[in-house]
Amino acid sequence: MSEWAKTVVRRLRGEYPEARCALTHKNPYELIVSTILSAQCTDEMVNKVTPALFRKYPTAEDLAKARLPSVEKLVRSTGFFRNKARNITGMAKKLVADFRGKVPQTMEELLTLPGVARKTANVVLGVAFGKAEGVVVDTHVHRLSRRLGLTEKDDPGRIEKDLMEALPRSDWIDVGHLLIWHGRRVCAARKPRCDACVLNDRCPGRTG
C-alpha cells in the first residue's frame, strides 16, 4: 500500500464527495451501452445521444434485433459510429444468446462481450454492481496517475495494476471517479490549476 496514494484518495474524496459516474443510465444494460459509446467521446455527448437510443431500444433484446444503419444514425455524433454501432449491437446479441439478456457480473464474462475491455468492465462492475475487481483507467486517470507519481507506467493495464497495489480494494471504485472529476475540474492536461489543487503541497508534477 502507498501512503501517498491513500492521501490522494482521502483528499479528493473530501473535495468531491459527490463524485460518481457521469454517464446517465437507469440499469446495467444502459450503463454498458453508454460506456462503450463513451470511448474517445465526452460523457456529455453520450448523454445527449442515449435518450433517443434507449427509447427505441430499451432492452438488450430490442438492440439485438436492430438494423445496423438505424443504430449508426442514432450514435453518429459520438464518433467512430460504425464501429460503435457494430459493438453495441454485437454486445446485445451476445447478452441475449449467452446471458438471457442480462449484463453479467464477472470480469471474465464481461470481457467476452464485443466492445468491452477492462475499462468498460470495471465501470460496469463498480457502478452497476458495486464490485471492485479493478480500477477504471481512462485518459484522466492515466494522466493524473503519472503526474501525481502513483505510477511511472504508460500502459493502462500496468497503471491499473500499480493503483490496485497502491490502494486497498475498498478504494478501487472511488479512485477512478475521483481522478476523473479532478482531471476535469482542476488538473487539466495542458494548463493544470495547481494553485487550486488540494494535492499541490505534495504533488511531484506541480507546475506552480
Identify whether 119 is a catalytic site residue.
yes
Query: Of the residues 6, 131, 138, 161, which is catalytic?
Result: 138
The upper half-sphere exposure of residue 11, i.e. CA atoms within 13 Å in the direction of its Cβ, equals: 17
Q: Give the Cα separation of 177 and 204 in Å (integer).
A: 21
Chain centroid to CA 113: 16
Which of 94, 119, 162, 171 is flagged as catalytic?
119
DSSP state string for 143-196: HHHHHTTS----SHHHHHHHHHHHS-GGGHHHHHHHHHHHHHHT--SSS--GGG
CA distances from 93 to 15, 66, 137 (A): 41, 10, 27
Active-site positions read: 119, 138
